[in-house]
Amino acid sequence: MKALVFGSLNIDKVYSLPHLPEKGETLYCKGYELHVGGKGLNQSVSLKKSGSDSYMAGLVGTDGKMLTNFLENAGVNTDNVGTTDGFTGHAVIEVDTDGQNQMILFPGANGEITPEYCDKVLENFDEGDLILMQYEISSVEYLIRLAKKKKMLIAFNPSPYVDEIKSLPLELIDYLILNEFEGQSLADENDCDRAVDKLRKLNENGAVVMTLGGDGVIYADKNEKVRVPAFKVNAVDTTGAGDTFTGYFLTEILSGEKPKVALRKASAASAIVVQKTGAAETIPEKKEVETFLNNI
């Protein structure tokens, strides 16, 4: 089975700050780093590192070579990553001393994905292949419907959350993977357990996974509902933790692991990521995750 991520590729400009700025405040930063990122790119790397046959589709600008080079070195197939005349998407990421962040996103080429481009890419994939999407590119609704027509397995991470996500055909999603804020907003429900139950009903045969940061993660499908605690580690930068979780979780579940085991491995992978600065570069190899789990 091919695992296609159709999503964003960003250049991440990461600024380390003593605290996140207040409105009108000017702050000197303690450090600046340039990283590869984008929820799509990060998730394709996580799928690859966890053992999937990972394919990335999306668009970069003429300044995007560092992103495709990175993916190729990581072993992710980039045949379906195109180049436009404009700028590559980028993220301005501010990180405080507790590892919390806030972001400004410039979509750039990620916003130029058209239905025609989706048609062209999906010609290279078949029934039963996985497609994983986020909400940082254009034409997501078209893509979901097209993937369904092709009988692909559909995973969706509705991130970053905006209210228009509510009008997407969410009943077509097989795996809805989201964080607490996204889940509460999408379900219009503050209680996380109840939000998961509500979202699960969108697709009777689908599954919902809601990550709760330090409070662990909840999984529910029509047969079971499980909750797994988080690993306690010292967070330096949480950027990319959710993307790492998503890739690892899908690889494990699609290779037949039980939800509880898949959740534990995915949580371990993201616990490793938060201890370093950056996103895609910090995603661990499977072996590192196994070592982490053996040493708990």
Task: Return residues touching ligand RIB (CB under 6 A).
Answer: 8, 10, 12, 37-39, 42, 91, 136, 239-240, 242-243, 279
CB closer to ligand RIB out of 12 and 94? 12
Token pair recorded at residue 218: 């909840």
Per DSSP, which regions of the chain are E strands?
2-6, 10-16, 31-37, 53-60, 77-83, 89-95, 101-106, 130-133, 153-156, 175-179, 207-211, 217-220, 225-228
CB closer to ligand RIB out of 12 and 112? 12
CB closer to ligand RIB out of 183 and 240? 240
User: Could you tell me the smallest distance in angstroms from the CB atom of residue 103 to ligand RIB?
Assistant: 6
Token pair recorded at residue 164: 């228009």
CB closer to ligand RIB out of 38 and 206? 38
Cβ-contact 104, 91 below 8 angstroms: yes
User: Could you tell me the smallest distance in angstroms from the CB atom of residue 110 to ligand RIB?
Assistant: 9
User: Could you tell me the smallest distance in angstroms from the CB atom of residue 9 to ligand RIB?
Assistant: 8
Residues ≥6 apart with Cβ < 8 Å to 242: 157, 159, 179, 211, 270
User: Could you tell me the smallest distance in angstroms from the CB atom of residue 12 to ligand RIB?
Assistant: 5
Handedness of CA 76, 132, 254, 270 (dihedral sign): positive
Residue sitting closest to ligand RIB (CB): 37
User: Could you tell me the smallest distance in angstroms from the CB atom of residue 266 to ligand RIB?
Assistant: 15
List the helix and strand counts (H, then E) for the chain.
9, 13
How far CA 223 is from CA of 16, 173, 180, 200, in Å, comes to 44, 17, 22, 11
- Calpha distance 2→47 (Å, rounded): 11
Bridge partner list, 10:
37, 89
Is residue 243 among the annotated active site residues?
yes
Say if residue 145 is exposed, middle or buried (CB neighbours under 10 Å; 0-12, 13-18, 19+): middle
CB closer to ligand RIB out of 37 and 158? 37
Catalytically active residues are 243
